[in-house]
Structure 1
């Protein structure tokens, strides 16, 4: 099975701060499935590193107030193209992210507070029938 996965979870240094968040459990998953690394922020045209951003209402705003929603939407659209191209039914995404978070994201105050909600990519993939899992749910695949 082909599974989309946030590239940072594979250790790729593409997060806003230029780091990765490698998840050791992926070694077992790689033996059974094809993992397709994605980073919607990069696919949307943002650099690494980049200013932190959070969802504020229906927009994605950086910590200094720059609206980067269009970059996030473009990146989500590009990932959806890959999901369709590779017939992906699942995506394992970085939790709490304004792109990849599913069910819970940061609240837009840059204080670490969480609220119910979905990131731009997670929302788009779910609307298109792709099952979203956070990195803590890897064992469900």
Structure 2
């Protein structure tokens, strides 16, 4: 949880600079305190998936969302998406804003985007890089006047 909360804090700081607010309720001290105030046998059970969250979200999210029994980690979908969007991923390597700023090596990004991800590299590292690249590109289009 420590690594995730640090990442969420950093993304929140980046968003704030752009005038956006990031909400991460699972990392809110009051939410954590409320969860810890519940007896362990009422918040963790082998017979129900995340019972405390299910009860807290009842009436807020669609009922079918509360019937999950597992959490899918998504690597299969990530690999399929990479295969289907390979050309778009490789296009991001051309004139990369992150590379121009010296934050990444475009050749490494190109290599990572051209083949399946190694199991030792979490695919969210690529997601974060692509998200930052796309964000930087939106800044380019937001500051470039439209031809006319």
TM exceeds 0.5?
A: no
- Structure number with greater Rg is 2
How does the TM-score come out when normalised to structure 1? 0.27
RCO (CA 8 Å, sep 6+): is it higher in 1 or 2? 1
